[in-house]
Amino acid sequence: MRNLFAGSLIGAAASLLTAASAFAQAPAKVPDLNGVWQAPYTNNLARPYGKELPMTADGLKHFEANKALQEGNDPSSFCLPVGPARIIQAPMPFQIIQTPQVTSLNFEYQRAFRLVYTDGRPHPGPNDWDVEWYGHSIGHYENGDTLVVDTTYINPRSWLDTAGHEHTADLHLVERFQKKDDKTINWTVTFEDPKYYTQPFTITLPLTRQNTNLMSYSCEENEIDRKGGHINSASR
């Protein structure tokens, strides 16, 4: 009888371990984020933040210098990529395309794209990766409705917004794309850069589904090409 009872306990324990292992290995529920989306144009992060950003002395110095130049140092004035957060804040739509291994964010603005790796890989080490305009992004899913994106290695020549808030190469972004319903995603992003900001700060913007396609976009520095360059039909 004791052997039978012990055998039953061992069997039950094995069944529980098997069930727990299966639960731990079960893939997270993935929200359908596919589609074309657009955030409200946000030229200054202080607006959704509700007050001026918590800048360090160095961060404030760069911000004030950019204000004095009246966008003369803005990367977009030179047709340079604007960075992973600012491009979402732009007044143009973008398309999300999901696969199990990677999610692509394709932007009408500057005809740019971001890749978010969701295959479990970590960020590369500092000796294996250099800064990029849109950084290196990895992601995972939480709560069945949210894609969490972690981004590092962001080129410091990009800006956080059109107002002129800059960042350093130490910028770290954590974004949460939370599906609220078929027409709305809440985009919450936390910015962390201890050299230019005294503390991490977070904003949230709604992304609304757009019934449209992405259009072509071409940036010509100072519009020289448009006036008389190679894309002007009159010059052919």
176-217 pLDDT, tens digit per residue, is 999 999 999 999 999 999 999 999 999 999 999 999 999 999
Q: What is the pLDDT of residue 222?
A: 60
| Alpha carbon distance 179, 24 (integer Å) | 24
Low-confidence ranges of the chain (pLDDT < 70): 1-27, 221-236
Look at residues 81, 82, 62 and name the one whose alpha carbon lies nearest to residue 162.
Answer: 82
In DSSP terms, which residues pair with 98 in a beta bridge? 103
Q: What is the pLDDT of residue 17?
A: 41
| Alpha carbon distance 40, 42 (integer Å) | 6
Look at residues 165, 166, 139 and name the one whose alpha carbon lies nearest to residue 152.
Answer: 139
pTM over 0.75: yes
Eight-state DSSP code of residue 75: G
Domain residue ranges in the chain: 35-212
User: How many residues are given for the chain?
Assistant: 236
- The CATH number, out of the four listed (2.40.128.20, 1.10.287.90, 1.10.3720.10, 3.30.1330.60), of the domain defined by the range 35-212: 2.40.128.20
In DSSP terms, which residues pair with 176 in a beta bridge? 148, 188
Q: What is the pLDDT of residue 228?
A: 52
Question: What's the start-to-end Cα distance of the chain, in Å?
Answer: 98
Question: % helix / strand / coil in the chain, to the nearest 5?
Answer: 25, 30, 45
